[in-house]
Amino acid sequence: MANINKIVKVNSLTEAYELNQKRSNVVLGGFMWLKMGNRSFQNAIDLSKLGLDQIEETGDAFSIGCMCTLRDLELHAGLNQAFKGGIREAVHHIIGVQFRNGATVGGSIYGRYGFSDVLTCFMALNTTVELYKAGIMPLTEFAELKYDNDILLRIHIKKDQRRLSYQSQRLSKTDFPLITVAVSKKDDCFYIAVGARPAKARLLVKPGCTLNKNSLEEDIIDFSNWAADQFNYGSNMRGSEDYRRHLAAVYIKRGIKELL
């Protein structure tokens, strides 16, 4: 169990950032993941007074504060409508309602966990992250960065008419996923994110795709197998490399069929 000497409810982002430059301090999300470790922290930086717990919707984008919970994502009518329940599908298998009422978007994205449903799902959308120091960058770029002492403020998702299909597989309910697959489509371009390989999610972008609702099943299968082969897989206690590759191809196919 992690130890925290003092919780500091900061009054500004400057204060939060300055405190976070010390290795003995840590930013708090929902403390769901952090508490599983056994590190000791001098100050835990609590961002809850900074108004970062809102999902804002404008005509062309969503802006999601880092202190929003996974449950907020699951229940947000605008997100569910825009992405046809894809985001809800990505989070609602994560442990249970009480857990999702605590775990935050900031902790989930900042953590860049290999098993992350949240990272996989947002990667297939037009998502950028907003950091206090580094500013705004694509989520795909952020996912590859080394961990540093910046603070994730918000994520932004453009409403660019992408449709989303999300699927994951677990050995048992509430376990970590064995594979996570998000497929989105805009015009003739497919965006395919595969995570829990068990490495963290990566994105494949395939423009100029000729598949449509009249395509032959075998063409969709060929494309799905090709797409699944563009990712690396590994083995761990939840599944082998081959099994993951197989599952990825199956879920990519199902995602594509849903979108077509």
User: What span, in angstroms and rounded, lies between the C-alpha atoms of 124 and 137?
Assistant: 15
Q: Is 17 in the site for ligand FAD (CB under 6 A)?
A: no
Smallest distance, Å, CB 32 to ligand FAD?
3
User: What is the C-alpha to C-alpha distance for residues 182 and 187, in angstroms, rounded to an integer?
Assistant: 17
Q: Does 177 bind ligand FAD (CB under 6 A)?
A: yes
198 contributes a contact to ligand FAD by CB under 6 A: no
Q: Which is nearer to ligand FAD, 43 or 140 (CB)?
A: 43
CA neighbor of 181 nearest in space, from 253, 99, 110, 107: 253
| Bridge partner residues of 104 (DSSP) | 69
Q: Which is nearer to ligand FAD, 177 or 198 (CB)?
A: 177
Under DSSP, the state recorded for 62 is: E
Q: Considering the rule CB under 6 A, would residue 94 count as an interface residue with ligand FAD?
A: yes
Cβ-contact 80, 71 below 8 angstroms? no
Q: Does 4 bind ligand FAD (CB under 6 A)?
A: no
Report yes or no: 127 and 138 within 8 Å, Cβ to Cβ: yes
Residue with structure tokens 């769901």?
32
CB of 117 to ligand FAD, least distance (A): 4
The binding track of 98-127 with respect to ligand FAD, each residue x by CB under 6 A or -, is -----xx-xxx-xx---xxxx---------
The residue from 36, 77, 216, 237 that contacts ligand FAD (CB under 6 A) is: 36
Residue from 64, 66, 73, 256 touching ligand FAD (CB under 6 A): that is 66
Q: Give just the sign of the alpha carbon dihedral 57, 58, 60, 66.
A: negative
Which one of 33-41, 155-163, 233-241, 250-258 is the stretch in contact with ligand FAD (CB under 6 A)?
A: 33-41
Instruction: Spell out the SS3 assignment of 108-154.
Output: HHHHCCCCCHHHHHHHCCCEEEEECCCEEEEHHHHHHCCCCCCCEEE
Q: Is 239 near ligand FAD (CB under 6 A)?
A: no
How near is the Cβ of 251 to ligand FAD at its closest, in Å?
Answer: 16
Residues that bind ligand FAD in the complex, under the rule CB under 6 A: 26-34, 36, 66, 70, 94-95, 103-104, 106-108, 110-111, 115-118, 151-152, 176-177
